[in-house]
Amino acid sequence: MGDAILVENVYFSYEDLPVLKGVTLTVRTGETLAIMGENGAGKTTLIKHFIGLLKPERGRVLVFGVDTREASVAQLARRVGIVFQNPDHQLFAESVEGEVLFTLKNMGYPPDEARAICERVLKLFELDRYRNRSPYSLSVGERKRLAIAAVMSYDPDVLVLDEPTAGQDFFNKSKISKLIFRLKRQGKGVVVVTHDVEFAAQVADRVALMVDGRIIREGPARDVLTDAETLKRARLMMPQIPTAVALLEAEGLKLPRKPLLPGAFYLEILDLLNHRWVGP
Amino acid sequence: MALAELKRVRFRYAGSDHYALDEVTLSAERGEFVLLVGPSGCGKSTLLRVLNGLVPHFYEGDFEGEARVAGLDVRSTPTHILAKHVGMVFQDPENQLFLSSVEREIAFGLENMGLPRAEVKRRVREVLKEFNLESVKDRAPYELSGGQQQKVAIASVMALEPEILALDEPTANLDPLSALEILSLVTRLVNEKGVLALVVEHRLELALRFATRMIVMVDGRIAADGAPRDVLLKSGSIVGYPPVVLTHLLLKRKGLVSDGVPLTSEELARVVIGKWATRYS
Amino acid sequence: MSRVLGIFRFRRKSTPLHALDPRAKFALLVALSAASLALSDAVSLSALLIVEAALLAVARSLREWARSLTGLSSLLILIFVLNFLTLPADRLFVAAAMALRFLCLTTAFSIFFLTTTADELAAALEASGVPREYSMMFTMSLRFVPSLARDLQTVADALKSRGLELEKGGLRERLRNYTYLLVPLIVYELRRSIMVAEALEARGFGAVGKVEPYVALSLRARDLAVIIVSALAACAVIWVVASGAYGTFLDQVRACFPRL
């Protein structure tokens, strides 16, 4: 695990309106970071700095040691893949496999290798049976998977997903979580911009809360997602499990650990019922 | 006769050979908050659009079966008449708010109905007050937050005083707190005005607590229709169990809790506290 | 791009110009445009520009206009250079006039759009007898121009992040790369237009033939005054230009310019 992206005290304005007001953040490989906050807090603006789509007015962004002001977007994109919220903003090829091949060609893969990788990636994302169909004939969830597949095809070290679960059904959300776990096992870095606290509870190792262009809290998911006060400032709520835990605590039933997910909570409740933990 | 009634409706979009709606039968009454869920492509958005006639008038195709809304036959009634009875709110505020002030936006539907100006002004004043939008009435919708925009969208359709409110993923782009505000607003309209609300939503952990009824659709058919708790138990594998429900199911498997499905953290906490109390008090 | 479009975007302010009936503002626009086209020397056009700047000052919109000048400057220079290079004589004189004319025209339009909302414009069109569908079409287009600009940026960002090189490379290569943006942009905007159409239908658009507009436009004394003054001023300029007097004036100005 190492430092992949270093954001150092970045300021950025859009049409004279300050959007980022001194943001410092580290993205590491082997770790999943969730950047959370309400719309307009600056999350998307921040991630655009990761591959130099936007350059900071003050401060700097280092991507694997390279200052984003000194490299082109295409170069930075080689190591950091971004999938934006609306897949329709980037799908244009005549076929599903054409989408993937396009990215691979841009990244400099020779045609034979590109075809082999494309086949593998389409199978992995369960899109191989659509390979000759137009991307626009796929359902919304499938188009999202295709956009992710096209970016993952060239194997970047960091994957950034902007609101991956917005408007997605349960089936697609699980697929996306599974993908993130697999990437983590492979040692990749993952950044998820989201306001879906349940999803963050499932996949995030660390959480950064953004309000009005600043990061107001950053730390392990377990700590940040149980901080109801700060979450509220970011227009978020605690996920269901920590909310239930807080209610138990209010009745004097203190749990030794702070579970975020059903499995862990279930084990804590078993302990509670078997051993009558009672706090002061 | 029910307020909204579909009998064996089948619909296929023009140029498609797959049925988006396949033998859909349902009836719904005033004062219901119906949550409509299902995997993407299951037909829930199509179903909503049958209510105000966008299907089959705007989206052409093969329509079979009967659909009646407020006594009107959907197939032979144009959308602008059905729009008086069914207010539809869409996912993206940017594409449904067109005018340069909140006040104008609310007046728009009333204007379209050909009502005299004095009447329109009166109703706009009432709506602004009812939805607490007086302070922003001169602001442009795009200046407002996402949650406020959706509130304006709802107010704009409610100005026409429809009996049915159809919402297609209204909270998809909203943060959780704003999402709860919108869903609470819809509940208030259901309870205070007897509106029939049909809401397509994916975020069950937020929406379940408000629903009086849940319908699950799969592949153009209704797979389940009934009380939210029952339907969730039956179809959780398709639509996903919210975390508190998963916890409860795990505890149930161990024999620690009995039947019942908690829809909120409060309900789960109460069950656990209750169990603890019976053991240790 | 957004810099340039900025001069056509309405900013809500409380100024005498903003408060005018849109038809009066339109009369002003027509008069200023007519003058810009009729005059053909750098001196008169500069005077016109000063008049327009004064109007912008009244509308408290000088800053927005000034900011967009940086975006327009490349076009201005292009016009100047093209004229300068292609004319047989009086290059400096004509090139300067052409560049100034362009600036006067865009500023005239900018004055109008900075102070008029899209639906004020629609109301004006409808009050002048344009059917509601057409005025709606017009205002919808205006209303979505900023969205289009933003979508263009988003599509470019998305493709750049997949390795499409839009920043470096030869002109031909870059132009070809830019064509990749067309398909997703067009598809996206088509989708958007369907969503907007759905929403319009859902709010009963087209239910009745004649609609009583919510905003009642009425011409007040000051609106009529603006219309009359604009009409008179435009006529005066055109009359002067058409008369011989302008010809002699042009010669005098031309003589002041270095013979190039």
Residue C9 sits in the same domain as residue C86:
yes
Which residue is it, tokens 């096992």? A185
Element (H, E) at C123: helix C118-127
The CATH code of the domain that includes A54 is 3.40.50.300
For residue range A135-174, list pLDDT tens digits in order. Answer: 888 888 888 889 999 999 999 999 999 999 988 999 989 9
Q: At which residue do the structure tokens 């691979």 appear?
A: A104
Q: Which domains does chain B have, with CATH numbers?
A: 1-85+162-240 (3.40.50.300), 99-161 (no CATH), 241-281 (no CATH)
Q: Domain check: are C84 and C133 in the same one? A: no
Q: Which of C7, C161, C165, C182 is most worth mutating to test chain A (most A CB atoms within 10 A of its CB)?
A: C161
User: Per the domain annotation, does C53 fall within a domain?
Assistant: yes
DSSP per residue over C167-227, as a string?
A: SSS-HHHHHHHHHTTHHHHHHHHHHHHHHHHHHHHHTTTTSSSS---SS-----HHHHHHH
Give residue A280's pLDDT: 43
Helix axes C62-86, C42-58, angle to 10 degrees: 160
Residue C31 sits in the same domain as residue C79? yes
Q: What parts of chain B have a pLDDT lower than 70?
A: 281
Q: How many domains does chain C have?
A: 2
Nearest residue to A156 via CA among A146, A148, A166, A164: A148
- What Å distances lie between residue C184 and A160, A172, C190, CA to CA? 21, 23, 10
Q: What is the extent of the structural domain holding C15?
A: 1-116+242-260
**What pLDDT shows up at residue C2?**
54
Q: Is residue A164 part of a domain?
A: no
CA distance B259 to B249: 9
Residue A175 maps to a domain: no
Domain containing A279 equals: 239-280
Q: What is the per-residue pLDDT across A46-97, written as a single tens digit (0 to 9) for each?
A: 999 999 999 999 999 999 999 999 988 888 999 999 999 888 887 878 899 9
Measure CB to CB from residue C203 to each of B116, B121, B157 and give the nearest one.
B157
Q: Cα–Cα distance between C118 and C192 in angstroms, integer?
A: 19
Residues A199 and A258 in one domain: no
Any residues with CB less than 8 A from the CB of C148 and at least 6 apart, and which?
C189
Interface test with C, best of B100, B139, B142 (most C CBs within 10 A): B100
Residue A88: inside a domain: no
Within-domain flag for C157: yes
Residue A10 has pLDDT above 50, yes or no: yes
Touching check for A66 and chain B: CB below 8 Å? no
Average pLDDT of span C77-96: 83
Chain A hits for B173, Cβ within 8 Å: 39, 166-167
| Mean model confidence pLDDT for chain C | 85
Contacts of C141 (CB under 8 A, 6+ apart): none
C257 lies in the same domain as C146: no
Q: Which residue of A has its CA nearest to B171?
A: A167
Specify the 3-state DSSP secondary structure of B224: strand
Kindly state whether residue C143 falls inside one of the protein's structural domains.
yes
On average, the pLDDT of chain A sits at 91
C123 and C112 together in one domain: no
Instruction: Inspect the interface and report whether the beta carbons of C212 and B114 lie closer than 8 Å.
Output: yes
Same domain? C125 vs C163: yes
Nearest C-alpha neighbor of A202 from the set A183, A174, A224: A174
State chain C's maximal CA–CA distance in angstroms: 66
Summarised one tens digit per residue, pLDDT across range C147-196 is: 888 899 899 898 888 888 777 777 888 788 888 888 889 988 998 999 99
Q: Are A10 and A22 in contact (CB under 8 A)?
A: yes
* Same domain (yes/no): C94, C1: yes
Query: What is the predicted ipTM?
Result: 0.90
Residue C194 forms part of a structural domain: yes
Residue C52, SS3?
helix
pLDDT over 70 for what percent of chain C?
Answer: 96
User: Cα(first)–Cα(last) distance of chain C, in Å?
Assistant: 34
Say if A115 falls within a structural domain.
no
Reduced to 3 states, what is the DSSP secondary structure of residue A11? strand
* Per-residue pLDDT tens over the stretch B22-54: 999 999 999 999 999 999 889 999 999 999 999
Contact A59, A22 (CB under 8 A): yes
| Contact yes or no for C98/C83 (Cβ under 8 A) | yes
Whole-angstrom Cα distance, residue C140 to residue C120? 12
- The predicted model gives A201-224 an average pLDDT of 96
B276 touches chain C (CB under 8 A): no
User: Do C42 and C17 belong to one domain?
Assistant: yes
User: Chain C residues with CB-CB distance to B under 8 A?
Assistant: 10, 12, 117-120, 139-140, 143, 147, 192, 195-208, 210-216
Q: Show the tokens assigned to A41.
A: 């807090």
- Beta carbons of B80 and C206 less than 8 Å apart: yes
C100 and C31 in a common domain:
yes
- For residue A77, the chain C residue with the least C-alpha distance is C161
Residue C4: is its pLDDT beyond 70? no
Q: Do the bridges between strand B164-168 and strand B196-200 make them parallel or antiparallel, or are there none, so unpaired?
A: parallel
The pTM of this model reads 0.88
Nearest CA in chain C to A54: C157
Number of domains into which chain A is organized: 2
Q: Could you tell me the pLDDT band of residue A277, with boundaries at 50, 70 and 90? A: low
Task: Estimate to the nearest angstrom the gap between the alpha carbon of A119 and the chain centroid.
Answer: 25
Q: Taking phi first (over 0 means left), then psi (-120 to 50 degrees means alpha), and beta for anything else, what does residue C217 get?
A: beta
In this structure, are C133 and C104 located in the same domain? no
Element (H, E) at B276: helix B265-280
- Tokens at residue C153, please? 């940026």
